[in-house]
Amino acid sequence: MQEKSDGPFRKWAATGLSLLIVLCLTTSEASAETTGRAPRAVDLGTLPGHVFSETVALNNFGEVAGTSHDGQLAASRAVRWDSRGRIKDLGVLPGTKRSVANAINERGTVVGFSYTADLDDSRAVRWEPDGRMIDLGTIPGGISSWAGGITDQGIVIGGARLADRRHRAVKWDRDGRITDLGALPGDSQANTAAVDDNGVVVGTSYVDLANARPVRWDRNGAGALALLPGDTTGSPLCVNDNGVSAGNAYRSDSGPHARRWDGHGRVTELKPPPGGVRSRASAINDRGTVVGSADLADQRTHAVRWSRTGAVMELTALGGPSSAVAINLWGTVAGSAQRDDGRGHAVRWDAAGRITDLGTLPGSTLPSEAVSINDRGTVIGNAYTANGAWHAALWHTDR
């Protein structure tokens, strides 16, 4: 699945950041030449009367989930774009004013949350392809909830907040029944990050976030994921359909350090290229390839890819910093890279590590970014229009 999410915390932060801006292989670097002609960016637009929009996930049929915002950010709406780029307002639950989409599955079902002010009054929502909007509710004693991911079978993961403000990791089955996944012994809170199509969930368990432990939930309940000697905390961000997850660990230094956990919870260090000091994992595909970024000796952040055996490859840059955020089944990677002139663009790397600058919206010279890629090679992201509005964008590329 491409629709993995690490919950509303990343999404909430990313939404705010974007809109505040608006108001395996070898360790040598691949060829710097781009691969062919850059695809044309498609402006997915906004709902009528809105000014801003952004993407969050897509499926292999080209359906995209995201959020559309008015100019004052007072009427945000979860939206779905169909494969032809037509936008649909998914609506809000009665008694709330705004909604946010976090994930979409192969059926076109979108999940997220509906709210009025913040996460304290949010409610997890599932929007079906036929237009039905389902309030997923919360756990006993919960004051709010949110949905962050969904499998193709309709299992939804997310979180709930209790009256004492503790967070609980939760899962809804395909019939909408909620389960508190629990926390590791000694912990009182937990967050979900991602779910695979077998229902295996990964996330964090903690008393306080500064001491979060990586956790995996399966049919046997919560189990701790291993940390390497010297690791003080860790958080998986993504999981593939073989139950292999990737994320980051932190030590007493300035971290992070990329890690991969196999289906038994054993951990592997994902090192930066020679001379690098830090590494970050962002995504994993079903073949076990992980992508992310590393801080290298030149003091710049560079996009990297790790093979199943842990061999690291530095992906081609455009002259400035770069980062990889998504990878599809075929090893095609999406991310962002900065040019020599300082402008950041959405980019795609092929399986050999060669880069293609995806550019930005027609008529604009302002930055763009990639968010995800599906197995057909379609890349989604966001870009500034010529007049400075932040819009959802899409690029049709080779897989």
Q: Please state, as a whole number, how many other Cβ atoms lie within 10 Å of the Cβ of residue 146.
A: 29
> From CA 213, how far away is CA 201, in angstroms rounded?
14
CA angle 359-362-363, nearest 5°?
Answer: 115
Q: Is the pLDDT of residue 10 over 60?
A: no
Express each pLDDT in 286-309 by its tens digit: 999 999 999 988 789 999 999 999
Tokens standing for 87? 């936008």
DSSP H or E segment with residue 312: strand 312-314
For position 36, what pLDDT does the model report?
A: 53
> From CA 192, how far away is CA 168, in angstroms rounded?
9
Express each pLDDT in 87-96 by its tens digit: 999 999 999 9
Phi, psi of 74 (to 5 degrees): -100, -10
DSSP string, 140-188: TTEEEEEEEEE-TT--EEEEEEETT--EEEEEE-TT--EEE----TT--
Phi, psi of 11 (to 5 degrees): -65, -45
Phi/psi class of residue 163: alpha, beta or left (left: φ > 0; alpha: ψ in -120 to 50)?
alpha
Task: Tell me the whole-structure pTM to 2 decimals.
Answer: 0.91
Torsion angle of alpha carbons 9, 58, 244, 136, nearest 10°?
50
> From CA 380, how far away is CA 357, in angstroms rounded?
14
Coil/strand/helix, residue 22: helix
Tokens standing for 260? 């991969």
Express each pLDDT in 304-325 by its tens digit: 999 999 999 999 999 999 999 9
What average pLDDT is seen over the chain?
90
> From CA 191, how far away is CA 167, in angstroms rounded?
7
Express each pLDDT in 342-367 by its tens digit: 899 999 999 999 999 999 999 999 99
> From CA 303, how far away is CA 317, in angstroms rounded?
8
